[in-house]
Structure 1
Amino acid sequence: MTERSLTGRTALVTGASSGIGRAIALALAGQGADVILHHHGQPEEAEAGARETRSMGRDARVVDGDFTAPEATGNLLAQLKGQQVDILIANAAIERRGAWESLPAEQVQAHVQANFLSLIALLQGLVPGMAARGWGRVICLGSIMQARPRAETLAYAAMKSAQLTTIRAIAREVAAQGVTLNAVSPGAIRTERMAARYDDPAFVAAVTAKIPAGRPGTPEDITAPVLMLCSEGGSYITGADIPVDGGWRIGDAMHALPEKT
């Protein structure tokens, strides 16, 4: 990838105050992009990311919004005040677990609003401008649960699959205008939000035992494919879903399987 290959581009990264979103925002800045960091309820963390972005010589601003609220996406777009966005990283999401037999309708609706309807609204607000300018990149953060869903995360997994269908449908419409839409789907990633669980050796051992690569991922593992898709080198890739899960999607690690008798 050419150094500073995204100079002159502006990226909006949702859920950029920590974890995968923060790592992507800083990686994009490292390639020359100016960055808009979205957060919900973490202003200090988002501002810290903006300061680090500015230390690289890039412009940065912070916007906020709770995507479980129907008006949040419109308010976020209004905060941009018409600012051009060339790259959308749709990372923000909620994941609320519970027994599927007693899953309340309001919890399902929260996932639909935050993880699906908000994405459609962002695409409606930003992709037409990208197409009119002849260049744009959309990357949606998917999940291993698209391929290996669990009943306790039924709503989350279903909406991640719906996101992928959405970007593939729109990708067909705007590919000729220089706009690509793709997904990058992490597996088990060690982030700040998961710190307490990853401090438990038994949990780490159980997760690691299932992953063919033999380790959980890090936010930095996600940044390389994202940067590739944003670069000119990724201009002929659209409608793809790139798993970044240490091989977990293709099956549990061989040493985790029961021996044949």
Structure 2
Amino acid sequence: MVSKTKKKASTKSIKDINRRRWRRKTPIKNVVAASSAVLSSIHRRISKLLTKLGLTRLSSSNRKRNSYKILKKSAHFNFQQQDTVCKTLLFEDSVENSLLPPSISNRKTIFLDLDETLVHSKTSPPPEKFDFVVRPVIDGEPMDFYVRKRPGIDELLEALALKYEVVVFTAALKEYASLVVDRLDRNGFISHRLYRDSCRNVDGKLVKDLGFVGRDLKKVVIVDDNPVSFSNQPANAILIKPFVDDACDRELWEIERLF
């Protein structure tokens, strides 16, 4: 009888032995063991992904001490490249060379011109009335621009941002326009900015070609005071009256009501 018992015990599989060990553990030990197994699995998957991307490789010695490894700074890897990697992983179907990053929402997009649509700017001498001054350096020379906001601009940006993706698309230089938009958009209502370098030169004229923005043209509108700007997609445009200094101007209120 003894020999038969020993034979039966010897035929038990590894699964049976592991199952008995699992039952002998306390509930806390079981939870710890399960968590450790999950973390090990995640660690292996992350290691494989990072190795494929060529960003880092975890050594066996570091594995024993830490579950991670800090990426070293490299001249061949910067945050712009990191953003590109992230976009490639998240948005495999994105259009190459589009002016905007892929949209992560189903919102429609409204492109707003800057000068004479949202504001009017003037260099020295200063006008009688202005809201703020920006001092960009253009071609190595600092310049003063006295900016007047169009009536209703603050309310328009806040209202549009609730329902739409708002993008400023201007033919102005980035050195100047970025400073103006910074002052206009203290609350972050504007999702993206496009400057002169995003325009196309067509017969010596700057055109804002919406075909390169990476958005469905059925869900895109541009508001601009210059018909040349939207000459490639006139059906997607709303022509607005140019603004200079009229304190009674109501155009932006009408745009808000329209949308």
- Bin for the TM-score computed over the shorter chain: 0.3 to 0.5
If the length of structure 2 is used for normalisation, what is the TM-score?
0.34
If the length of structure 1 is used for normalisation, what is the TM-score?
0.34
The higher radius of gyration belongs to 2
Give the number of the structure whose residues are more often helix, by fraction: 1
